[in-house]
Structures are given as C-alpha cells and as structure tokens.
Amino acid sequence: MHIQVIFRVIGLMIMVFSLTLIPPILVSLIYSDGALQAFLYAFVINLVGGAVVWFPFRNFRGDLKIRDGFLITVLFWSVLGLFGSVPFVLTTDPELTFTDSLFESVSALTTTGATILTHIDSLPESILFYRQWLQWLGGMGIIVLAVAIMPMLGVGGMQLYRAETPGPVKDSKLTPRIAETAKALWYIYATLTAVCTLGYWAAGMTFFDALCHSFSTVAIGGFSTHDASIGYFDSVLIEAICTLFMLISALNFGLHFYAWRHKSVWHYFKDSEAQFFFFLLFSTITMASIVLAITSTYDWATSIRYAIFESVSIATTAGFGTSDFSVWPHFLPFLLIVTSFAGGCASSTGGGMKVIRILLILKQGFREIQRLVHPNAVIPVKVGGKAIEERVVSAVWGFFSAYLLVYVMLMIGLMATGIDQVTAWSAVAATLNNLGPGLGEVAANFASINDPSKWMLCFAMLLGRLEVFTLLVLFTPMFWQR
C-alpha cells in the first residue's frame, strides 16, 4: 500500500473537485438567487481542504498497484460525497442538516437520485443546477470507473471486459491508458449530453431545464428541477427524448466507444447483453401496458405511454416519474422495482446488478438443468458464442450473493429503526440499485426517514455504485496485511 501517494492523489482530487463549484457560482450570479455566498464559501473550503490533504504528501511518487485501486476508488466516492455536501450544509434555502446534506450529495454523485428535498420547484436555481451537475459528474466518474478501473480490479466478474474494452490491461500497474480512455469517453458523454439538451430545448423545455435534465438523463441519475419530475412537462415528445437517452446511457459505453472509433452501429445489435436488456424491457413494457389497460387504470394509449416511460425509467434505474404509482395495481410497482435489480448494462451509468450478470446467472442456472439431464456432459457457459471462464462465473455468483446478503442486512437494519417492511424493502432497493424513488414512505422523497436509516442508505448507495466488493474488501483484515 502506498498510503502517502494515495493521500496526494485524493488531495489533488478534492482541489480539482472544488473547481466544479464554478458553474453553480455562475448560475447563482446569473439568477441572483441568494445562494452565491454558500457556493463561494464551499469553493474556498474545498480548495483549502484539498490542499491540506495534499500538501504534506506532495512529494510522494510511486506506481500504484491494484490494491491501491480499491482504496482510491472508495475514497474517491466517499470523500467527494463528503465535500460535495458542503454547499448543502452552507445554504440557508433550503436549511439542511449535515445528514441530509450528505445524503443529497452522495445520492447525486452515485447517480441514485433519492432526495431528501421537498418543494423542489421553489429552490434557488444554483442549488437546482448543482444537484443535476453533481449527478452528471458522478455519471462521468462511473463510466471511467466501469470501463477503465473495474475490469482491472476484477470486481464481480468485470475482468470479463478486460480484453474487450480499452483501458490498462493485464499488468498490475494503475497508470497509462486510463487518461486516454477517459478522454474518449468524455467526448462521447459530453456529446450525448449536448444532443440531449438540444432535444429537450427544442421539445419545449426552458434552456435551464433542458440542460439540467440532460445532466440527470445521461447520468441515469433521475434528479429533476420539479417535484413532478418529467411529469411536470406532460409532453409525449419530452418523454420520448428522455426514454431514448436513458436507453442509450444504459448501454455499455464500451459499445459507444467502439462506435466512436470504428464509425459502426451493427455491433450494438450483436451484443448479447444489449439483446437481453431489450428483451427484458420489452417483456416488462408489454406486461405493464396490458395490465394497466385491462384494469382500466388508463385508456390503451395512455397505458402504453406510461408503461414505456416508467418501465424504462425504473429498469435503467433512472428513476424519473411521470405518473402516480398509487393508482396502479400494486404488484406493478413491485415488479418494476424488481427489474431495477438487473438495472443497466455493465459499463453504463445505470445501476443495479447489471444485465450481463443476470444473463450469466440465468445461463448458468440453465446449464445446471442440462447437467441434471446429462450428468456426464461438459457444458460451458457461453455469452455471444464465447465460453466464459469459470473464474468470471464464480465471481459473478459471489457478487450476486454478496449483493443479496447486503440487501437483507440493510433491510433488517432499517426495520430495526422502526421502518415498515415495504418502505424498508423499497428504500434499500432504491439506494443499493442506485434507482432513486421507492414505495411507501419513500415514494416521493426520503425526507421523513430517520437519520440512522439515512446513513445506512448512504452506505447502500456507495455499496451499489462500488459494486459491493470494492467497498466490502476494505473491511477485511486481509486487505490491510503486509
């Protein structure tokens, strides 16, 4: 472990992060919304805070190894979550506790989109902008993490992507090609955002709303500048644009990278994960449409409209809303939240366990049945015609069981504070899957939840975003030995 080098990196990271407060400062200046002071103070605090961490270690150099990668990744999200909360702590409108500020900041950076705020429409523009902006930055971080770092760390079977995606490969040094990869991904991500913004704007949003919503759409974050979320606009066109960009952002960015570099689109159709993702979505939408229509919840056209939007929004783990779940047959919201466990594709801004893992698990479940019928046959698990290494498969299993174990423990933790079972169930799903909204008490927001639960849910958001193991491994003595 190179603790000093890590401190230097984290200090630098915080200083760079303080620069991200400049755009909300400009927004506050433009709108004269009264939040300027909070952001200016926050800027100084973060810059100085970063410098204090960096200064004592500024001369330490050294190559970072894989094990350092775990620590840096965890520190990146937790430390930035902490510093990201400073403007929320300082602002007087809204007046927020430290716990609520941290919750909002972690929720934004992990692109979860669970909020403790109420009456969002009346908040200062710079605060609204900042939440969306944090999601966008978080989304960018997730892409780099997923494409460049996770395959190297090999968390939860993600070594699967080592050979196929760009990024530093097969050696144990955490250095060269990350920067190059990150730059290409940044172009793709920024381009998607720009196009999405223009789309929303052309479809009738104000430019401010268009920009803010494109941030949270491309990041699959789900924050909005309105309490009614996308439903505020009541526009089929805006919903269609949102749906399209949620889908694009929930695909593996490795595919976008390939499209960018090779000017090709056909590989999207050949990708097993993408195929399975659309199959799952199509099944969910069909089922939801039929159920909404035959139960006369809405007419057919409205049923299909809402079914498409809500299914995509929840299955991709974006968490935008257009309609009121409380009038739906109550097993549908349950079913939709179950789909968020699959979530987006690997290396996307989506949450959940990732479609590729569910696909691998189902394939192996099917193999077990084959083995029962043909006990002596050797049957490999294949994805896209390629046999998957036993090691990747077992890493995926490990991930799956750790995910569920953590899920149940968090649920028990929440219930121990007195929260009812349905709320606890959906609150943990909403945070661990980086989804956002839940059911029961947390259907609209997390304001009424007690503080210990908010801390547990912050932890859940980080666990989800860090693919569980990246964070869990730090709690083992083994990690810290030698």
How far apart (Å, rounded) are the C-alpha atoms in residues 409 and 268?
38
Nearest partner of 305 among 325, 317, 323, 320, judged by Cα: 323
- Residue 380 CB, shortest distance to a second copy, in Å, is 12
User: 434 among the known binding-site residues?
Assistant: yes
Among the residue ranges 2-10, 11-19, 104-112, 395-403, the one whose residues contact a second copy (CB under 8 A): 395-403
* Residue list 167-186, contact with a second copy (CB under 8 A): 172
Nearest partner of 88 among 45, 52, 48, 50, judged by Cα: 45
113 contributes a contact to K ion by CB under 5 A? yes
Contact in structure between 260 and 329 (CB atoms under 8 Å): no
Of 473, 433, 393, 463, nearest to 69 by C-alpha is 473
Closer CB to K ion, residue 298 or residue 309?
309
Give me Rg for the CA atoms of the chain: 22
Residue 279 binds a second copy (CB under 8 A)? no
Give the separation between CA 95 and CA 90, rounded to whole angstroms: 8
Q: Which does 359 bind (CB under 5 to 8 A by kind): a second copy, K ion, none?
A: none
Sole binder of a second copy in the list 37, 118, 191, 370 (CB under 8 A) = 370
447 among annotated binding-site residues = no
Give 159 or 216: the residue with its C-beta nearer to K ion: 216
User: Hey, what amino acid is at 343?
Assistant: G
Q: Which of 66, 90, 240, 290 binds a second copy (CB under 8 A)?
A: 66
- Can you tell me which of 208, 268, 334, 455 binds a second copy, judged by CB under 8 A? 334
317 marked ligand binding residue:
yes
Residue identified by tokens 């789900």 is: 222
Q: Which two tokens stand for residue 183?
A: 């730059």
Shorter beta-carbon distance to a second copy: residue 103 or 469: 469
- Footprint of K ion on 320-359 (CB under 5 A): none
Size of the site for a second copy (CB under 8 A): 53
DSSP one-letter code for 148: I
Q: Which of 69, 81, 156, 436 binds K ion (CB under 5 A)?
A: 436
Which is nearest to 318 in space by CA: 331, 332, 305, 308? 308
Shortest Å, Cβ 167 to a second copy = 16
Other Cβ atoms within 10 Å of 304 Cβ, number: 18
Report how far apart, in Å, the C-alpha atoms of 139 and of each of 9, 161, 187, 368 are: 20, 19, 13, 37
Give me 166's structure tokens.
């760009």
Distance of alpha carbon 344 from alpha carbon 103, whole angstroms: 23
Q: Examine residue 293 and tell whether it contacts a second copy (CB under 8 A).
A: no
Q: Is 407 in the site for a second copy (CB under 8 A)?
A: no
Give me the 95-134 binding string for a second copy, x by CB under 8 A, dash otherwise.
Answer: ----------------------------------------
Question: Among 63-71, 199-207, 229-237, 278-286, which window interacts with a second copy (CB under 8 A)?
Answer: 63-71
Binding of residue 412 to a second copy (CB under 8 A): yes
* CA proximity to 131, closest of 74, 84, 91: 84
Q: Is 319 in the site for K ion (CB under 5 A)?
A: yes
Q: What are phi and psi of 326, to 5 degrees?
A: -65, -20
Nearest-5° Cα angle at 456, 451 to 457: 95
CB of residue 462 vs K ion: minimum separation in angstroms? 14
Q: Scanning residues 219 to 238, which ones bind a second copy (CB under 8 A)?
A: none
Strand partners, 447: none
Beta-carbon neighbour count of residue 455 at 10 Å?
15
60 binds a second copy (CB under 8 A): no
Spatial distance between the Cα atoms of 239 and 237, rounded to a whole number of angstroms: 5
The token pair that represents 452 in the structure block: 């210990």
Return the structure tokens found at 421: 């079972």
- Choice between 101 and 349, CB closer to K ion: 349
Distance (Å, whole) CA 336 – CA 325? 11
Task: Return the structure tokens found at 77.
Answer: 């999200």
163 or 478, CB closer to a second copy? 478
Quick one: DSSP state of residue 389? Answer: P
CB nearer to K ion: give 159 or 316. 316
CB of 221 to K ion, least distance (A): 5
Window contacting a second copy (CB under 8 A); options: 24-32, 50-58, 198-206, 411-419? 411-419
What single-letter amino acid sits at 98?
F
CB of 246 to a second copy, least distance (A): 24
User: Shortest Cβ distance from residue 197 to K ion (Å)?
Assistant: 19
Residue 222 as a binder of K ion (CB under 5 A): the answer is: yes
- Contact positions vs K ion (CB under 5 A): 113, 222, 317, 319, 436
- Contact positions vs a second copy (CB under 8 A): 66-67, 70, 153-155, 172, 329-331, 334-335, 338, 361-362, 364-365, 367-373, 375, 390-391, 393-395, 397-402, 404-405, 408, 411-412, 415-416, 420-422, 425, 469, 472-473, 476, 478-479
Residues annotated within a binding site for K(+)? 111-112, 220-221, 317-318, 434-435
